[in-house]
Amino acid sequence: MPRSIRFVAATGLLGLAGAVLGAAPSHAQADPATGEKLFQQRCSVCHTLSAAEKKPTGPHLEKLLGRKAGADAAYGYSAAMTASGIVWNEKTLNDYLANPGKVVPGTSMPLAVPRAADREDIIAYLEAKTK
């Protein structure tokens, strides 16, 4: 392959890689303050951040990251969630929030967070507040 064609091909691949990587959400750019607002609007109806606070519609999220899904004995999870084998981390939580029914068919969580940036912000907030 002539040198000029190799240069054009390599430049095109680098540009494509930059576009793909630039389009991926970056957790470093997530905003916990926005995540708090989104949590209050979308999540707090069913969930609390403290094990001391209970809601009948959803489990508490205290110490969520690193916890096995369905592990809070005080909440009646769906059989699907209990059997899912998921351990919550940034990736599993992001995937679940994007489409709960796809990740855990039979889950009782009816709400998805379709925007990747919103999920990133919510996860950043949960990381900061649920340790």
State whether 83 and 20 are in the same domain: no
pTM: 0.77
Q: What is the CATH number of the domain that holds 109?
A: 1.10.760.10
Its domain, for residue 50, covers: 31-129
pLDDT the model gives residue 74: 87
**Segment 14-32 mean pLDDT:** 53
State whether 10 and 65 are in the same domain: no
State whether 51 and 90 are in the same domain: yes
State whether 60 and 83 are in the same domain: yes
DSSP string spanning 99-125?
-HHHHSTT-S-------HHHHHHHHHH
- State yes or no: pLDDT of 16 exceeds 60: no
Cα 84 to Cα 38, 68, 77: the distances in Å are 26, 9, 11
State whether 40 and 89 are in the same domain: yes
Nearest to 90 by CA among 36, 17, 28: 28
What is the domain count for the chain? 2
State whether 13 and 51 are in the same domain: no
Determine contact, residues 125/44, Cβ cutoff 8 Å. Answer: no
In tens, the pLDDT along 44-78 reads: 999 999 999 989 999 999 999 999 999 988 899 99
Q: Residue 27 — very low, low, confident or very high, per pLDDT cuts 50/70/90? A: low
